[in-house]
């Protein structure tokens, strides 16, 4: 069968190309998926587009979240049937072979497939919530309201936290408020950020601060906001140069009057697949997020800002590279 895919051939060079796949010879342990929708992860895919991710080998097909329909399967794939709708860590391609050893699950009944791929980004944010050990009534500050930061804010609120979210963009703040985040601040317009944060929390510092930006300068500032014995969660992937004196940061970790714990929250800190005697996994987080989206407990409709044909890939990557705020939640539509 002939199919189409998005290919990054060199830094800042995107092609929309044709390839061929033998649908009559499905390897053992695999199934063939016809993609319906695939989600763009703006942070990671911008870095890939710029050639900044060493793990992504060029040329390569980007993307790691999609939903599609099973067209064919090997006999040893027993948990799926032809015709099933499946969420998986798929790429930006109209057809793809998926291994049964990878993360996938049947789409929960009643969930619009358009809103399924974003569950991967919510599951990534879930790692930050798991690592934070947030409890009912905790004060939580989330810095950065891209999709992952918005997801972390919503998940922290579901955990029972008092959530304040900060971002430089009033549009992203509005989106967060539409998703049920009660308190937001424009971090670029604050003369005294600490005073503004404590005003929201009735004089308290937040016990948990989640950085969803990955910006070294922001992370250095964020540690000031954490209450003594609190946690700074590094959810955003750090990128860019880190310059300056790091003693300030180290003192907050070391000194008895701060005792801030700094915790990395990359999703690979949890096993990818569910396994015996381990409660949390990426697979479980993804399934839970899909169900929460289906049930309306996680709000995602207003986070899908663009539903575009994959032929528009060059435009999409060019715009996210520029930081165009209108391209926050981009979904490629492979159905037409």
Residues 19-40: what's their mean pLDDT? Answer: 96
CATH topology assigned to domain 2-118+304-333: Quinone Oxidoreductase; Chain A, domain 1 (3.90.180)
61 has a pLDDT exceeding 80: yes
pLDDT confidence bin for 275, thresholds 50/70/90: confident
pLDDT in tens, 115-126: 999 999 999 999
The structure tokens listed for 211 are: 């950085």
320 has a pLDDT exceeding 90: yes
- 261-264 and 85-88 strand pairing: unpaired
CATH class entry, domain 122-268: alpha beta
Residues 201-214: what's their mean pLDDT? Answer: 97
Least confident window among 198-207, 274-283, 291-300: 274-283
Element (DSSP H or E) covering residue 316: helix 313-322
Residues 268-277: what's their mean pLDDT? Answer: 85
Q: What phi and psi values does residue 168 have, to the nearest 5 degrees?
A: -75, -20
Q: Where are the domains of the chain?
A: 2-118+304-333, 122-268
**Nearest-angstrom CA–CA distance, 206 and 133:** 13
Task: Look at residue 135 in the predicted model and tell me its pLDDT.
Answer: 95
Cα torsion angle, 193, 129, 146, 236, sign: positive
Question: The pTM is what?
Answer: 0.94
Instruction: DSSP letter for 93, please.
Output: B
DSSP helix/strand/coil, 226: coil
Task: Look at residue 103 in the predicted model and tell me its pLDDT.
Answer: 94
Task: Look at residue 277 in the predicted model and tell me its pLDDT.
Answer: 86
Contacts of 165 (CB under 8 A, 6+ apart): 141, 142, 143, 145, 149, 150, 153, 173, 176, 181, 183, 184, 185
Task: Look at residue 270 in the predicted model and tell me its pLDDT.
Answer: 83
Whole-number mean pLDDT of the chain?
95
For the stretch 226-263, what's the b/e string if a residue is b when 16 or more beta carbons lie within 10 angstroms of its beta carbon?
bbeebbbbbbbeebeeeeeeeeebeebeeeeebebebb
Contacts of 191 (CB under 8 A, 6+ apart): none
- How long a stretch of residues is the chain? 336
Task: Look at residue 242 in the predicted model and tell me its pLDDT.
Answer: 80
pLDDT in tens, 124-148: 999 999 999 899 999 999 999 999 9
240 has a pLDDT exceeding 80: no
């Amino acid at each position: 069968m002939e199919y189409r895919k998005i290919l990054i051939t060199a830094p800042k060079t995107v092609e929309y190309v044709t390839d061929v796949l033998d649908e009559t010879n499905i390897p053992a342990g695999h199934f063939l998926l016809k993609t319906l929708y695939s989600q763009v992860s703006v942070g990671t895919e911008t870095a890939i587009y710029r050639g900044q991710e060493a793990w992504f080998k060029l040329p390569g097909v980007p993307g790691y979240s999609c939903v599609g329909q099973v067209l064919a399967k090997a006999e040893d794939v027993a948990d799926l049937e032809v015709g099933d709708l499946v969420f998986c860590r798929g790429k930006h391609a109209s057809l793809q072979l998926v291994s049964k050893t990878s993360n996938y699950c049947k789409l929960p009944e009643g969930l619009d497939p358009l809103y399924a791929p974003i569950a991967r980004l919510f599951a990534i944010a879930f790692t930050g919530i798991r690592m934070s050990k947030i409890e009912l009534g905790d004060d939580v500050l989330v810095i950065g309201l891209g999709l992952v930061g918005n997801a972390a804010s919503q998940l922290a609120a579901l955990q029972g936290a008092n959530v304040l979210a900060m971002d430089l963009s009033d549009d992203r703040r509005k989106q967060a408020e539409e998703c049920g985040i009660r308190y937001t601040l424009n971090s670029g317009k604050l003369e005294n950020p600490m005073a503004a944060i404590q005003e929201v929390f009735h004089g308290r510092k937040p016990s948990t601060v989640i950085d969803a930006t990955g910006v070294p300068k922001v992370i250095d500032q964020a540690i000031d906001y954490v209450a003594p014995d609190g946690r700074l969660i590094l959810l955003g992937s750090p990128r860019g140069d880190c310059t300056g004196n790091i003693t300030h940061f180290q003192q907050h970790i070391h000194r008895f009057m701060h005792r801030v714990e700094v915790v990395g929250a990359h999703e690979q800190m949890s096993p990818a697949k569910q396994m015996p005697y381990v409660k949390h996994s990426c697979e479980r987080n993804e399934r839970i997020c899909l169900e929460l989206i289906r049930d309306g407990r996680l709000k995602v409709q207003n986070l899908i800002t663009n539903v575009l044909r994959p032929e528009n890939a060059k435009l999409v990557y060019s715009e996210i590279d520029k930081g165009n705020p209108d391209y926050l939640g981009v979904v490629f539509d492979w159905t037409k």
